[in-house]
Amino acid sequence: MTFIDESQRDLLRIVWKESIDGSIKTYKMNRVVYGITCAPYLEQRVLKQLVMDDGHNYPLAASAVSSDMYMDDLLTGAADIYSSKQLKEQLIAIFRGGMQLHKWSSNCK
């Protein structure tokens, strides 16, 4: 998940009441919430920023993230097992901010 900058959290507030007679509580969101209108843009912008910041250190990952991502899904490949392992290591490194990568698949035993 992506954290919202402290200065922007006032823009993502939720007003909540436990009951009709209950007091109103206001919460500020700390993370991007899926379902809000700007979530797709924010997701893509975070990916672009990761590539801009660290793409030079992880060229295989930068290329895959730039061209093979759809929202939070990456569908990509490599020519051989060695390149696949390098790509996996670079993807894990570039997503160091807490994005958990899972559902790895290969047609190689």
- pLDDT tens, position by position, 36-83: 777 788 788 888 999 999 999 999 999 999 999 887 789 999 999 999
- 102, two tokens: 């899972």
Residue 12: domain span: 1-33
- C-alpha angle with apex 97: 34 to 38, nearest 5 degrees? 25
Is residue 55 situated within a structural domain? yes
The pLDDT value given to residue 52: 95
Instruction: Examine the domain organization and report whether 45 and 17 are in the same domain.
Output: no
Q: Pick the residue with more confidence: 103 or 34?
A: 103
Is residue 108 situated within a structural domain? no
The pLDDT value given to residue 86: 96
pLDDT tens-digit series, residues 13-36: 889 999 999 999 999 988 877 777
N-term to C-term CA, the chain: 32
The pLDDT value given to residue 2: 65
- Specify the pTM: 0.69
Is residue 102 situated within a structural domain? no
Instruction: Examine the domain organization and report whether 17 and 54 are in the same domain.
Output: no
Instruction: Examine the domain organization and report whether 6 and 55 are in the same domain.
Output: no
